[in-house]
Structure 1
Amino acid sequence: MTEDSKSSNVVCDVYKDLEPFTYFYYLIFLVGFIGSCFALWAFTRKENNQKCTSIYLKNLLVADFLLTLSLPFKIAVDLGVAPWKLKIFHCQVTACIIYINMYISIIFLGFVSMDRYLQTTQSAKLFQIQKRGFARMISSVVWALVLSIMVPNMLIPINEIQEKEIVGCIEFKSKIGKDWHVLTNFISIAIFLNCSCIILISNCLTIKSLYKNKDCEEFHNIKEALVKILLVTGGYVVCFLPYHIVRIPYTLSQNDVITDCNLKQTLFHAKESTLLLSVSNLCFDPILYYYFSKTFRSKITKTFSIKKERGENQENDWRSENSRSK
């Protein structure tokens, strides 16, 4: 029975038909890179009164740049054009960076939602977590926590295996590497569940608080705040929920708890599809920067208004020159 299962695992090839995914990754890379560069340029403007939300968004931007650097490696590996050493580097380093970005994004979206709730309920004077010093301190703790979970996946020695055209990252892992990989997955799911509770509870309480004031004169501002809340909640659910539904059964298939080949292939493609959704937060984050950061929003508004004025001035100059020539 054991020999049959082993032979079926050798024959079962789940790491195939990945080329269609690469086109979407390439599109996400282009859009995300442009958006992240623009956000970096906007955030270089110094703020006299930097709020907690801006600090959390800047940490989100750092994670986005790490993801942007990682995507070309994944694209090359999935297309099958990467040399053997690059495949090893991707499995050891850049694949882990993708997950670092995912959980950094999840945690800081939780903090953004909580900070938005405290601002809406005007609880800033009662809570230390509204102070910039706390935001910087908790940001450092978050990075230390996520890196301490993910970095061992990069550092644990890997197995030497024979070169082949298609290989899964799990094949490089030693026994201790696989055990840490499983532990990492369950810790990551716990992080996701806790942050999901924070985001959903904070946003629901904020909506409830705003809805009480729906008849006041500042209804336009309330409506705008509701749009921001729905944007965060909708983006969070679309990007991260599908992946975490698939992750547990996929992890079990990686460690041969699930041995059926057809089911393994289905779970692998489900994992790749939902991972693509998770990575798409790279395109979603610039929208968050626009709605939640006055610095980012004012920089965009000012830039495009200047361009518009220059265009109008050039057009007026051109018309005046034509009228003189006539």
Structure 2
Amino acid sequence: MTKDANPRLKHAPADHPPVKPAKIGVLVANLGTPDATDYWSMRRYLNEFLSDKRVIDYPAWKWQPLLQLIILSKRPFTSGANYKTIWNNEANESPLMTITKQQVAKLREAVATRYGAEVVVEYCMRYGNPSTFDVVDRMVQQGCEKILFVPLYPQYAGATSATANDQFFRALMKQKRQPAARVAAEYFDRPSYIEALAQSVERVYPTPESRPDVLVASYHGMPRRYLMEGDPYHCQCQKTTRLLRERLGWPEGSIETTFQSVFGTEEWLRPYTVEHVAELAKAGKKNIAVISPAFSADCIETLEEIQGEICEAFEHAGGENFTYIPCLNDDDAHIAALMEVVQENLMGWIA
């Protein structure tokens, strides 16, 4: 690049190192995915995930021997088998990766339309690849002097939003020239997000007569202790469900909040989805639907757990019609809600 091509080098000496034109970055982050379904790929991914103190906060001396010697000797096999049932073999990646790429492609197009080439959009994963460290470094090398970090979690939780933020700031610690940074807040009660959820339900149930007996809003679980320690996740999930019901105009009791993916022996947020759907079936609710408002993209918890284990629990208890309503994924209404988040958080940085 010549000195004339970059006005910021106008007064620089001839031997000044190259300087990229200044840009603004938008970095969206999701949970993560293994690189493959084999034992060692699964073990690397699970080790990074389950070693995160935000996820499992037991003392290392107590947790790590159990994790390394017992859990990681067996769980990679079962988790790998589960991933194989949903794996995108054509692209050789998990559905979460495929969908995240689709989301970012649409968001990138919307950002380019609104701001032009001055704002770049990238994505990273908290666990696995592309790592937060690698992507932040690449964005800085591209000239991003300001970065907006957007965790793709509608509801805040220490084990999701906070650990993604932690990793982002760790990545900034590695940079000689740190960009200015902003972190987008959770968007669990944003009208555009609730509207996108409601539209996804109305596509499946367009009339009152077609409604299920119960719509189960199944959120990822967490230890109940986290709620008692001040994590707002449980309350935000409850509010999302209430706002969705109000937007749909459905009566009280027609949508229920449950929690899935229980791990370990500690008490988690209740009711547990897998138990609750069986109770509904036994109570005569033969036609139910499940939606997953906490997940921005379909993943192992929705494609395998909900449509596998949870569906089977309902049917074994006498349920007849089980419908899964997909996550918002790259739905246009979802991308519009995310673009709204981006625009609000870029205020003051760009016109």
Q: TM-score, normalised by structure 1?
A: 0.26
| Larger fraction in helix | 1
Q: Which has the larger radius of gyration?
A: 1
Higher relative contact order (CA 8 A, sep 6+): 1
Q: TM-score, normalised by structure 2?
A: 0.25
